[in-house]
Amino acid sequence: MKIYLSRHGQTVWNRDNLLQGSKNSPLTQNGIDAAKALSKKLENKTFTTIYVSPLLRAKETAEIVFPHQKFVYDARIREMSFGNIEGRFKNTLSEEETNELMTMWHRPIEFKGFQDGETFEDVIIRVNSFLNEIIDTKSNDEIFIMAHGMIVSIILGCLFRIPLTEWTDFKSSIVDGCSLTIIDLKDDQIKLQVHNQ
């Protein structure tokens, strides 16, 4: 089995440096162009199933990458919720919120979540539920997952069973928009074939 992972294209909030999380903003022209480039790269590939986050930016990207194809939308691969800091510029955060943001990026094991938001543990539970449902290491299926920066990193952490205590610099693990990460799963072996390319 092979799993292809990608993150949505650049959005207006990505470009303008607003905190996005589970809220939506439209793709920029750069995001649209990156999705078209990924579509070209994958034009000769056929996937057993294409899973897509239900958040608008992932749906829009998937529709460009895979025109006229059917998707399976799954809320378990939506982006982590940042609660009450979503839609805000970083310089509008309180000192406590800023400190918690730094904790999220650099010491995930200590991250308590923002008001009305999720913790890493919350997201790991739903991502593991999703992975346990779709993975069959005996199959030759090739599946595609269109999701989000944090979700791609969390999927990798779950697949490779990396404990949260070892996620010490989470921000540096975030993949680029419309990049490809490919994991090969066969029997008990998991191999990272391509990362963020």
Of all helices (H) and strands (E), which one includes residue 153?
Answer: helix 149-159
Residue recorded with tokens 């997952």: 145
Indicate the fold that domain 2-194 takes in CATH: Rossmann fold (3.40.50)
- CB of 95 within 8 A of CB of 27? no
Q: Give the SS3 label for residue 163.
A: coil
- pLDDT, tens digit (0-9, with 9 covering 90-100), for 104-147: 999 999 999 999 999 999 999 999 999 999 998 788 999 999 99
| Paired strand residues for 144 | 4, 50
How far are the Cα atoms of 93, 120, 150 from residue 113, in angstroms, in the given order?
Answer: 14, 8, 14
Q: Give the SS3 label for residue 195.
A: coil
pTM above 0.85, yes or no: yes
- pLDDT, tens digit (0-9, with 9 covering 90-100), for 77-93: 999 999 999 999 999 99
User: Would you kindly state where each structural domain of the chain is located, as residue ranges?
Assistant: 2-194
